[in-house]
Chains A and B, each alone.
Chain A
Amino acid sequence: MSSQVMAREKRKSLDENDVILEVTDLKKYFPISAGIVFQRQVGAVRAVDGISFHVIRGETLGLVGESGCGKSTTGRTILQLYRPTEGSVRFEGQELSTMSGNELRQMRRRMQIIFQDPFASLNPRMTVGSIVSEPLQIHKIYSNKKERQQYVEALMEKVGLNPYFINRYPHEFSGGQRQRIGIARALALEPSFIVADEPISALDVSIQAQVVNLMEELQDELNLTYLFIAHDLSMVRHICDRVAVMYLGKIVELGPVDEVYDNPQHPYTQALLSAVPVPDPQVEDSRQRIIISGDLPSPANPPTGCNFNTRCPVRFDLCFEEPDPPLIEARPDHFVSCHRVT
């Protein structure tokens, strides 16, 4: 009870009208080609298939779903690392999807990304100092080398790395420390918005809490807005204010995190939450699991009607008909896309 009150208070400090990011009907299709000499397109993988949501300044929006549901593609398409097939992405009032490369580079001072794999996302031939200062060089901030080094050292201290190690290479650090380097790099340009693409999935359990606590501290200190992409639903409940559940390229449920976790409306969300194990044998012994059968359908060939109709335990005739269910407000601030929920 008290924690719910706290959660509400935490969100009260956010200005609901201060929308930092507005995504409207975003689509990203990847072409499937056939032929050896003459390539022709024979289909498309619908990685992101028409999603809309907004992010308020200072909040953390969680994007959850199973592998292949399009959550990472969404994050990258927002930052225009993939150009969208259709739809609009407005960031701080400016439309990103039609921007040229140069304009985008300027926008990237305001929006950054932290990648999942701290082993693959850091260049092994660059020192920590040059990794963290590269964005500063690109954007020609601190032309004075000494000042730049001081700034990088301060940044390293901020993310909990010893500035003494500025000339070391990534392989000399552990996984958690490498992720701190990735965070320092993302913070170098003082962005307002960060896409965190599974930032803790590759880390050991005892290290995950360190990185999550760091991200929370930095958010409070620098008023950062996070899009937190993850498949660990327990961690999402801990760190996020609101959560969007994705299934096969679409958002099936969206709302405040406690509301969605305590009152899941979509049958997929219900199954997903019931499948997450809780580290407590007493809870586990008494829990009722909803086991959904079957696998995720291919996003190259999604089912007709509702995407979830191949696995849904409560499906009925309407679910197999076009159009698929719209995202409607089933409870205050809580949106669901299901024919069963009206």
Chain B
Amino acid sequence: MSVLLDVKDLIVRFYTQEGTVYAVNGVSFELEEGETLGIVGESGSGKSVSSLALMGLIPSPPGKVESGTVMFEGRDLLTLKPDQMRLIRGKEIAMIFQDPMTSLNPVLTIGTQITESLKLHEGMNTSQSRKRAADLLDMVGIPDAYRRLDDYPHQFSGGMRQRVMIAMGLSCNPKLLIADEPTTALDVTIQAQIIELVKQLKDEFNMAMIWITHDLGVVAGIADRIQVMYGGRIMESGSSHEVFGDSRHPYTEGLLGSLPRLDSSGEEKLTQIEGSPPDMRNEPSGCPFAPRCDVREEFNLEKCWDQRPPLETVADDGGDGTHVMSCWADIREGVAENV
């Protein structure tokens, strides 16, 4: 497999009246063709902003992509002109957003909205594009598809609207689909429907996918690789089995410990991460997790406060070097390295 997307040293900031928001502070990752990457993080971790940045969708001002490269099929997306970017967005890379009600235009019919990108990118005429749109709706499981093209978004339920969004995202056979919390607004039974649908379509279209979520359970079932973000940086990344089964970073460990499990009766107390997520208006120095980290406290690591830990392969990760984390200590080893 070859690398489809290569993000290097992405830095995004927002210059607001209340000060500079350091949203993404040096994020690098690769995505292979056909691979599913799950980006996990809490609100303010920079997970959405980093994917908006690679789509060229950061509102500017106040936002600014300070540095970094996003190589996609040999081109740096960050250097493209707006009209060049428009040819990629929706065609090569598509995006599904969290709330299907606010991301669909309420005064246009579903048909108009789906056929728009088909006409633009594929040069189809009205009847061709309507036929294709009906096929797409049918594929995502909307009954009576041809007739429903003339319905407006409010005539669909939440789950159905999200299916419409997916149909729209898939309309031009993108190579990469970015899904930003696509099931967060939905109930669990509907979420399960959507996840099954996306998994099946992903195989059919052989797309790569970035699935952004705060729900560790959702990515466990869908992602090949997981990337845990905190404070605008990648804390840990690896195959989903590595990150969940052999997590090394104190934040990942804490996050997994704080989750009750459906499949075990929870009599033990949940382990809690003390404190609250960082204020992103402070200029980052050191590890963003340092104020809440119990490993730092235990080993009294001074270095965590002012030196950024590099993203490095963990000790004995199994040889392929894909399990990386950014921490001065390795909790599994129980030792602080390089102190």
Name A's B-contacting residues (CB within 8 A): 3-4, 6-7, 10, 66-67, 174-177, 204-210, 212-213, 216, 231, 233-235, 237-239, 257-258, 261, 271-285, 287, 289, 291-293, 295-296
Interface contact B272-A213, CB-CB below 8 Å:
yes
A278→B265 contact, CB < 8 A? no
Q: Complex: how many Å from CA A240 to CA B165?
A: 37
Query: Provided the pairs A209-B272, A234-B260, A237-B265 are in contact, do residues A204 and B214 lie with their beta carbons within 8 angstroms?
Result: yes
- Indicate whether B155 reaches chain A with its CB closer than 8 angstroms: no
Q: Please give, as numbers and ranges, the residues of chain A lying within 8 Å of B218 by CB-CB distance.
A: 277
A206–B258 CB distance below 8 A: yes
Which residues of chain A have C-beta atoms less than 8 A from B187's C-beta?
66-67, 231, 296
In the assembled complex, B276 has its CB within 8 A of some CB on chain A: yes
Q: Which residue of A lies closest to B217 (CB)?
A: A277
Which residues from A are CB-within-8-Å of B157?
295
**Residue B94, interface by CB 8 Å:** no
Specify which of A10, A258, A272, A283 is in contact with B189 (CB 8 Å cutoff): A272
Is B26 close to A, CB under 8 A? no
Q: Please state if A275 and B258 are interface contacts (CB–CB under 8 Å).
A: no
Is B301 in the interface zone, CB < 8 Å from A? no
**Given A210-B272, A279-B220: A205 touches B258 (CB 8 Å cut-off):** yes
Q: Do residues B262 and A234 form an inter-chain contact, with CB atoms below 8 A? A: yes
Q: How far is the CA of A295 from the CA of B157 in the complex (A)?
A: 8
Q: Which of B62-70, B129-137, B237-245 contacts A (4 or more CB under 8 A)?
A: B237-245
Query: Which residues on B sit within 8 Å (CB–CB) of A175?
Result: 276
Known: A205-B42, A237-B262, A271-B189. A278 touches B277 (CB 8 A): no
Contact A276 B188 (CB under 8 A): yes
Q: B263 contacts A278, CB within 8 Å?
A: yes
Which residues of chain B from 272 to 306 have a CB within 8 Å of any chain A CB?
A: 272-274, 276-277, 292
Q: How far is A258 from B244 in the complex, measured between Cα atoms in Å?
A: 25
Q: Roughly how many angstroms separate A279 CA and B218 CA in the complex, as a whole number?
A: 7
Residues of B within 8 A of A207 (CB): 276-277
Q: How far is the CA of A237 from the CA of B43 in the complex (A)?
A: 25
List, in ascending order, chain A residues with CB within 8 A of B192's CB: 274-275, 289, 291
Q: How many A-B pairs fall under 8 Å by CB?
A: 147
Which of B189, B190, B241 lies in contact with A282, CB distance below 8 A?
Answer: B241
B188 to A, closest residue via Cβ? A275
CB distance from B280 to the nearest CB of A (A): 13
User: Would you call B189 and A279 a contact (CB within 8 A)?
Assistant: no
Is B269 touching A216 in the complex (CB atoms < 8 A)?
yes
Task: Let me know if A292 and B262 touch, CB within 8 A.
Answer: no
Which chain A residues border B277 with CB–CB below 8 Å?
A: 174, 204, 206-207
B262 with A281: CB separation less than 8 A: no
Which one of A238, A275, A289, A291 lies within 8 Å of B266 (CB-CB)?
A238
Known interface pairs A272-B189, A281-B240, A292-B189; A7-B270 also in contact (CB < 8 Å): no
> Which A residues lie within 8 Å of B160 (CB)?
295
For B276, the chain A residues whose CB sits under 8 A away are: 174-177, 207
Nearest A residue to B45 via CB reads A204
Cβ-neighbour of B267 out of A6, A177, A279, A280 (below 8 A): A6
> Can you list 30 A-B pairs, Cβ within 8 angstroms, ordered by A?
A66-B187, A66-B189, A176-B276, A204-B42, A204-B214, A206-B255, A209-B258, A209-B271, A209-B273, A210-B273, A213-B269, A216-B269, A234-B260, A234-B261, A237-B265, A261-B262, A272-B189, A275-B188, A275-B192, A277-B217, A279-B217, A279-B220, A279-B261, A281-B241, A282-B241, A282-B244, A285-B221, A289-B192, A295-B160, A295-B190
B191 in the interface (beta carbon within 8 A): yes
- Chain B residues with CB under 8 A of A279: 216-217, 220, 244, 256, 259, 261
- Smallest beta-carbon distance A215→chain B, Å: 11
Report the minimum CB–CB distance from B339 to chain A (whole Å).
Answer: 25
Residues of chain A within 8 A of B265, CB atoms compared: 3-4, 7, 237, 257-258, 261
Q: Are A295's CB and B270's CB within 8 A?
A: no
Q: Which among A3, A176, A277 is the interface contact of B220 at CB below 8 angstroms?
A: A277
Specify which chain B residues have a CB less than 8 angstroms from the CB of A291 in the assembled complex: 189, 192-193, 196
Top 7 A-B residue pairs of the complex, sorted by shortest distance between their CB atoms: A277-B217, A238-B266, A238-B260, A209-B258, A275-B192, A284-B221, A66-B187
Q: Which residues of B contact A4 (CB under 8 A)?
A: 265
Within 8 A of A (CB), among B171-200: 187-193, 195-196
Report the minimal beta-carbon distance from A67 to chain B, rounded to whole angstroms.
6
Q: Which residues of A contact B244 (CB under 8 A)?
A: 279-282
In the complex, what distance in Å separates the CA atom of A289 from the CA atom of B254?
28
Interchain CA distance A7-B244 in the complex, whole Å? 27
* Residue on B nearest A311 in the bound complex, by CB: B189
Mark each residue of chain B from 218 to 248: 1 if its CB lies under 8 Å from any CB of chain A, else 0. Answer: 1011000000000000000000110011000
Alpha-carbon distance between A209 and B256 when the two chains are bound, in angstroms: 11
Closest CB-CB distance, A290 to chain B, in whole Å? 9
Distance to closest chain B CB from A279 (angstroms): 4
* Known A3-B267, A205-B255, A279-B244: A231·B188 in contact at CB below 8 Å: yes
Known A177-B276, A279-B216; judge A205-B188 contact (CB<8 A).
Answer: no
**Which chain A residue has the least Cβ–Cβ distance from B197?**
A291
A66, A238, A281, A295: the one contacting B188 at CB < 8 Å is: A66
Known: A4-B265, A258-B265. A277 touches B260 (CB 8 A): no
Inter-chain contact B189/A212, CB cutoff 8 Å:
no
How many angstroms from the CA of A4 to the CA of B292 in the assembled complex?
Answer: 33
Residue of B244, B254, B266 ringed by the most chain A CB atoms within 10 A: B266
Residues B220 and A273 in contact, CB atoms below 8 Å apart: no
**CB <8 Å contact, A209 and B270:** yes
Which of chain B's residues have a CB closer than 8 A to the CB of A7? 265, 267
B43 touches A204 (CB 8 A): yes
The one of B159, B189, B215, B245 in contact with A281, judged by C-beta atoms closer than 8 angstroms, is: B245
For the A-B complex with A278-B221, A281-B220 known, give 8 more contacts whose Cβ atoms are closer than 8 Å. Answer: A205-B259, A206-B42, A207-B276, A234-B259, A272-B188, A275-B188, A279-B259, A291-B193
